[in-house]
Structure 1
Amino acid sequence: MSQFVVGLTGGVAAGKSEVSRRFEALGIVVADADVAARAVVAPGSEGLARIVDHFGSGILLADGQLDRAALRERIFASAQERQALEAITHPAIRELLRRTCEEAGSPYAIAAIPLLTEAGGRQQYPWLNRILVVDAPAALQHARLMLRDGSTAELADRMIAAQASREERLALADDVVVNDGHPEQLQAEVERLDAAYRLMA
């Protein structure tokens, strides 16, 4: 088991996936909350059944999979609906992440949790030893969202506004990586942190 676990978080389109990939390339197991989130709402899962109970069967695609685009529109239009979804999925996601980190064969493990701040931070994840925040300027997040997801400017604004503020995220951080579009600098930061985390572990 990895006794030492780093929580990795950051705002939407800040570059968390890129940072995760670079840690994985160094041999570190990354338990990804997005992967866990898909697993807990897979067809036949208790999570999906509870989502259908709350949102109705219109939230499903023809093949029985969750219609993520339709669900995203619903939850970004209503804070109440977003909280309802989180109440269904977050406990199951937390448990799956913890188990994956415990079983990791690397010197330490990373739990990549995009909504760590919104989900209650250390209070909900007391098993995290450190928190690493990937930070990017808001204008860059906005541009990346429109490019990556084909989001309208308005939806990109809503997605950024729906998350915790940059200040709230940074207040949780033990470590910060600034991802403002300089790959060499990003790689150097990841390698520096990897060396530090191996020592701590």
Structure 2
Amino acid sequence: MANWVLGLTGGIGSGKSAISAMFEDLSITVVDADIVAREVVLPGSQGLKQITAHFSEDILTSEGTLDRAKLRAIIFENEAEKQWLNALMHPLIRESMLTQLAQATSDYVILVAPLLFENGLEQYCSHTLLIDVPVDVQIARTTARDKVSIEQAKQIIASQMSRENKQQKANDILDNNRPLTEVANDVKALHQGYLQLSAMS
């Protein structure tokens, strides 16, 4: 892949979307793994056809889109079904992500993935940036935004790689637990550094 790729990651509630939007304002293309995951199961896609063939039409909403809540309930109860779904989805998502990264025309391109390190996606990146906040901030933001209980938020965080491990793995760490104006200034400084790194590669 010719493009210089920045892998941007962080636990749930760390503010990845806000930070990636700042990079987009600096004319950098962003490929978001969560958005790609939705694209590969849109109506008419191979992904949705295979899911429907496996789980039957019951898995669709009345509009013909994937009923995510129903699918989540099935795989939460059944490890074999979860493994089947992962085996289908991961290659589809990866292929689409790599295509989008390769087609990007900005000076460098950002891959946003909450499970960047967990899923080994850093192998496709030239450099990695961790959006970092304390765990109690993650819990507060997640419960407020996603309307989940504190218990559920803790479970989601526990299922991801620990904050300490991510800090050790990342090339750069951006503290996102302070005023956005300070964070935005740091993003601009990081951006200048990434422009130089990508120009040298």
Is the structural similarity TM-score above 0.5? Answer: yes
Q: What are the Cα deviations for residues 140-179 of structure 1, in whole angstroms up to 9, with x where unaligned?
A: 1111111111112222122212222212322321111111
Aligned counterpart, 1:200: 197
Aligned counterpart, 2:62: 62
Cα offset for 1:78?
Answer: 6.2
SS of the residue 1:14 aligns to: coil
The answer on 1:160 being equivalent to 2:157 is yes
SS of the residue 1:160 aligns to: helix
Q: 1:2, 1:104 within 8 Å by CA — same for their partners in 2?
A: no
Distance 1:184 1:78 in 2: 45
Q: 1:142, 1:157 within 8 Å by CA — same for their partners in 2?
A: yes
Q: Call closer, same or farther: CA 1:165–1:187 in 2, change over 3 Å.
A: same
Q: 1:76, 1:162 within 8 Å by CA — same for their partners in 2?
A: no
Q: What are the Cα deviations for residues 60-103 of structure 1, in whole angstroms up to 9, with x where unaligned?
A: 21212112233344555666654443322121212212221221
Q: TM-score when scaled to structure 2?
A: 0.87
Q: TM-score when scaled to structure 1?
A: 0.87
The answer on 1:144 being equivalent to 2:124 is no
SS of the residue 1:155 aligns to: helix
Indicate the larger mover: 50-59 or 94-103.
50-59
Count of aligned residue pairs for this structure pair: 198
Indicate the larger mover: 93-102 or 135-144.
93-102
1:15-34 mapped onto 2 (5 Å cutoff): 15-34=15-34
SS of the residue 1:31 aligns to: strand
Distance 1:109 1:196 in 2: 14
Q: 1:2, 1:105 within 8 Å by CA — same for their partners in 2?
A: no
Distance 1:138 1:49 in 2: 39
Aligned counterpart, 1:135: 132
Distance 2:166 2:81 in 1: 23
SS of the residue 2:7 aligns to: strand
Which segments of 5 or more consecutive residues in structure 1 lack a partner in the other structure?
none
SS of the residue 1:65 aligns to: coil
RMSD of aligned residue pairs (Cα, Å): 2.1
1:149-188 mapped onto 2 (5 Å cutoff): 149-188=146-185
Aligned counterpart, 1:92: 92
Indicate the larger mover: 14-23 or 105-114.
105-114
Q: 1:2, 1:107 within 8 Å by CA — same for their partners in 2?
A: no
Cα offset for 1:56?
Answer: 4.9
Aligned counterpart, 2:187: 190
Distance 1:169 1:81 in 2: 29
Aligned counterpart, 2:44: 44
Cα offset for 1:2?
Answer: 5.8
Identity %: 41
Q: What are the Cα deviations for residues 22-74 of structure 1, in whole angstroms up to 9, with x where unaligned?
A: 00001100011111111111112221233334555443212121122333445
Which segments of 5 or more consecutive residues in structure 2 lack a partner in the other structure?
none
SS of the residue 1:195 aligns to: helix
